[in-house]
């Protein structure tokens, strides 16, 4: 079997330039593809997001979501709170499965959950389990 290298969720947006500006304010490096109106990219550290314009998008029914493993969920929450980009930002909380998790729902309805291991814990999916998993 060939190795999968990475994944990039595709977030839907009604207004690509506005979405690119929003993600730039959240610390991503952003750029539009070709015409700048229909498709774009946001990159921060090892995370890539793709953004695509959907003219008739209803933010109340969007089902797009992604999970971002981060170094420090509280620090990201503070950083994103200061960015003032709209949407809904949820304060990180400790979970029973060893992560401190928060969430951001952008104005287009895309959900970005983010979490970091609680002190004294590691990822809920150990590296060894990942290395030995089979399809």
Mean pLDDT, 10 residues at a time, over the chain (135 residues)? 94 96 98 90 97 95 94 98 96 96 97 94 56 43
pLDDT at 37: 82
Query: Is 4 within a domain?
Result: no
From 9, 30, 33, select the one nearest 20 (Cα to Cα): 30
Range of the domain at 88: 10-56+64-132
The number of domains in the chain is 1
pLDDT at 120: 82
CB 7 within 8 A of CB 48: no
Can you point out the beta strands (E) in the chain? Answer: 10-13, 29-32, 39-44, 47-53, 65-69, 88-94, 99-105, 111-117
pLDDT at 44: 97
Question: Residue 53: how many CA atoms within 13 Å on its side-chain side?
Answer: 15
pLDDT at 50: 98
pLDDT at 125: 57
Q: In CATH, what number is assigned to the domain containing residue 127?
A: 3.10.180.10
For the entire predicted model, the pTM comes to 0.86
């Amino acid at each position: 079997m060939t190795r999968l290298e990475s994944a990039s969720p595709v977030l839907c947006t009604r207004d690509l330039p506005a979405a690119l500006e929003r993600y730039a304010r959240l610390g991503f490096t952003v750029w539009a593809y070709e015409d700048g109106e229909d498709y774009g990219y946001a990159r921060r550290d090892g995370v890539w997001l793709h953004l695509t314009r959907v003219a008739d998008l209803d933010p109340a029914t969007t089902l797009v979501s992604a999970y971002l493993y981060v170094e420090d969920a509280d620090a990201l929450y503070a950083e994103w709170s200061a960015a003032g980009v709209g949407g809904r930002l949820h304060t990180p909380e400790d979970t029973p499965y060893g992560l401190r998790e928060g969430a951001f729902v952008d104005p287009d309805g895309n959900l970005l959950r983010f979490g970091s291991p609680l002190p004294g814990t590691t990822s809920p999916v150990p590296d060894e389990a990942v290395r030995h998993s089979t399809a």
